[in-house]
Amino acid sequence: MHFHDFKFEYDIQDGLDDMGFTTPTPIQEQAIPIILDGYDLIGCAQTGTGKTAAFLLPVLNHMVWNPIPHTDTLVIVPTRELALQIYQALQGFTYHTKINSQVVYGGTNGISFEQEKRSLEHGAQVVIGTPGRLIAHLNMGNLRLEHLRHLILDEADRMLDMGFVDDIMKIISKTPKKRQTLLFSATMPPKIRQFAAKLLHEPKEISLSVSKPAAGVTQGAYLVNDKDKNALAVKILNEKKLPSVIIFTGRKIKAKELERDLRKSGVNARSIHSDLDQKEREEVLREFRSRKLPVLVATDVLSRGIDIEDIGMVINFDVPGDAEDYIHRIGRTARAESKGEAYTFITGEDMRKFNRIEQLMESVVPKLTNPQGIPAGPEYNPAAKSTGKPKFSNKNKPKFRKK
Q: Return the amino acid letter for 66.
A: N
Closest alpha carbon to 168 in 151, 186, 180, 148: 151
User: Does 375 reside within a domain?
Assistant: no
Quote the pLDDT of residue 398: 42
User: What's the pLDDT tens digit per position in 8-28?
Assistant: 999 999 999 988 888 898 899
185 and 57 part of one domain: yes
DSSP string, 165-231: HHHHHHHHTTS-SSSEEEEEES---HHHHHHHHHH-SS-EEEE---SS--TTEEEEEEE--GGGHHH
**How high does pLDDT run on average in the chain?**
86
User: Does 392 reside within a domain?
Assistant: no
399 pLDDT higher than 70: no
pLDDT band with cut points at 50, 70 and 90 for residue 58: very high
Quote the pLDDT of residue 143: 94
268 and 357 part of one domain: yes
pLDDT band with cut points at 50, 70 and 90 for residue 261: very high
- Structural contact between residues 294 and 242, judged by C-beta atoms closer than 8 angstroms: yes
- Edge-first strand order for the sheet with 367-368 is 269-272, 295-298, 245-248, 313-316, 340-346, 217-223, 367-368
Phi, psi (deg, nearest 5) at residue 217: -90, 125
Dihedral sign, CA of 363, 368, 374, 377?
positive
pLDDT band with cut points at 50, 70 and 90 for residue 307: low
User: What's the pLDDT tens digit per position in 65-105?
Assistant: 999 999 999 999 998 888 998 999 999 999 999 999 999 99
196 and 274 part of one domain: no
CA 7/CA 10 separation, integer angstroms: 8
Report the CATH number that the domain containing residue 106 is assigned in CATH: 3.40.50.300
User: What's the pLDDT tens digit per position in 279-304?
Assistant: 788 888 889 988 899 999 988 765 55
234 and 127 part of one domain: no
Dihedral sign, CA of 102, 106, 107, 112?
positive
The CB density around residue 330, as the number of other CB atoms within 10 Å, is: 32
* For the chain, percent of residues with pLDDT exceeding 70: 89
389 pLDDT higher than 60: no
Mean predicted confidence (pLDDT) in 125-135: 95
Contacts of 262 (CB under 8 A, 6+ apart): 230, 233, 234, 237, 269, 295, 297
Question: Which range marks the domain in which residue 10 is found?
Answer: 3-207
Classified as helix, coil or strand, 156 is helix
User: Does 143 reside within a domain?
Assistant: yes
Mean predicted confidence (pLDDT) in 235-256: 90
